[in-house]
Amino acid sequence: MKHSTKLRKSDIPAALLAAFPNYSGRKFQIEVTEKVSFYDLNWDGGTHNAYALVSLDGQGAAALPRESPFNPRAEGATFALPPRFVVVEHSHFCGRDVGLRFHVHPSDVAKLLPSAGEAAQG
The answer, yes or no, to whether residue 68 has pLDDT greater than 50, is no
Q: At residue 63, what are phi and psi to the nearest 5 degrees?
A: -70, 140
Write b or e for each residue in 101-122: b if 16 or more Cβ atoms lie within 10 A of its Cβ, otherwise e: bbbbbbebbbebbeebbebbee
pLDDT of residue 20: 92
Q: Where are the domains of the chain?
A: 11-81
User: Does residue 116 contact residue 9 with C-beta atoms inside 8 Å?
Assistant: no
Mean pLDDT across the stretch 74-101? 84
User: What SS3 state is found at 95?
Assistant: coil
Average pLDDT over residues 70-94: 77
pLDDT the model gives residue 75: 60
Distance CA 114, CA 117 (A): 5
Query: How many other C-beta atoms can be found within 10 angstroms of the C-beta atom of residue 62?
Result: 12
Q: How many other C-beta atoms can be found within 10 angstroms of the C-beta atom of residue 89?
A: 23
**Phi and psi dihedrals of 56, rounded to 5?**
-85, 0
The pTM is what? 0.78
Residue 25 has pLDDT above 80, yes or no: yes
Answer yes or no: are the C-beta atoms of 65 and 22 closer than 8 Å: no
The whole-angstrom separation of Cα 88 and Cα 44 is: 20
- What average pLDDT score do residues 24-42 get? 81
pLDDT of 120 > 60? The answer is no
What's the confidence (pLDDT) of residue 82?
Answer: 87
Cβ–Cβ < 8 Å for 14, 113: no
Report whether pLDDT(34) > 60. yes
